[in-house]
Chains A and B, each alone.
Chain A
Amino acid sequence: MKREMLINAALMAGLLVVPLWAWAVDEPFTITLATRVAILALAAVGLNIALGIGGLVSLGHAAFFGIGGYAMGILASHAQTYDPIMQWPLLVEGTKVMPVIWIVAVLAAALAALVIGALSLRTSGVYFIMITLAFGQMLYFFAISWPAYGGEDGLSIYVRNDFPLLNTLDPIQFFAICFALLALALWFSARLAASPFGLALNAARQTPQRVEAVGLSPFRLRLAAFVLSGAITGLAGALFADLNRFVSPVMFSWQTSGEIIVFIILGGVGRLYGPVAGAALFITLEHFLGEVSDYWHIFLGLLLLAVVLFARGGVIGTLAGRKVAHD
């Protein structure tokens, strides 16, 4: 495990050093790429709580990513037109303050995860995969056909939202916010995995009968994990929308759900820092292969196939060389 800790530290240091170097030589685009890595890794860290510890293969996490995005879009668009969201029974106005937006995004995503989780967790295995995928698609079509917030065209925000004392329009400062949240989420999921809750959840993945026999409910453990997982992915969605200053139904699409899982797998299943490695590899490939060929998805597909069939540990597993403790 020591070697894995070194790799993890190198990963985070790399994610910090590359944008700092880009800042020093004035390459804002590279900083934006690093910010994307941090945000997408955060989304995958969220999914990894359900998938890595709980064994819940959710193919619908785009739902929470999109809800986070739309929470930001709706609040900020009302704030920029000074048009309250609702006036009765109480006055609710839009806001451009990031921490407030984050809280709304997290709560909205958690609520959605509670409803979707409560329905989907009545089943397991393949049913669960298909149902989460279907609920994600439901929100996608809802976002397309609901005209109030842009429908298919999405919603643009003129200026990035504010964070107290920082200038969020400066790429490196916005990166710092995203990186800090990623580090916080990683710390949180490490604590969670080692907590009694995390251990029980892990046990519910391996032998649900025994968990039940000691008086715990696997359903409740999984639902709690699913809600936490959706909430973190929702936070990432709010940041992603802020990075692009744009939200659209694409955030809800099934490809987004697939990509979030792909980050975890490329990095290594069951590895805490797998999402960071996977998101970094994905964005790097997208950037360099995308320049070489318009059809870079073919190479991504072949790489993914090779990882699934032959190198199941992903990047971290290959480098650390040891099987993950619970595999």
Chain B
Amino acid sequence: MTETVNLLAVFPDLEPASDAVEQLRTLGVTDDHMNVISGVPVTEPMLGRPHAWTNVPRIALGGAVLGMSGAFFLIFIVPYLYPYPIQVGPQAYVPGPPSFVILFEITMLGTLLSTFLGVWLESFFPNYRRLPYVPEISDGKIVVFFTCPEASQDKFTKTMTALGAEKVTIAEARQL
């Protein structure tokens, strides 16, 4: 089994970083074995990277369904749980328009809470473990993080440097 090493190449800009991604692919590093870390959102097409999958919209949809179910319970079941049903004016026990208000608010609450929760679940937040990172990312540098065979470390370092990397180091897990 080939020994591997994780490297971090720090680029000053988007162009050399996207060139590096392409070059890494040429050198045999698959997309699964690289990641780009940046201080601004850089979309996949800009880097020539495959579309990143996210379940956030599905989780949001799930939350909407849950919220709607809760609202249905409050609207349709609760009025019949009263030992002595309460008549409000000429309104039915389950009045149409007010029920729509409750349905809307609780569905939206479910959607938004689950969207928020979705980011946490998908990104494994909160995460206070030691992780590969360099603080320069906050200052606008773009880091290409990849795994390569240990024997080829020098070759990869030279290639990244030739493409404009300011620094290529072994990715050390550090306390953020």
Q: Do A and B come from one complex?
A: no
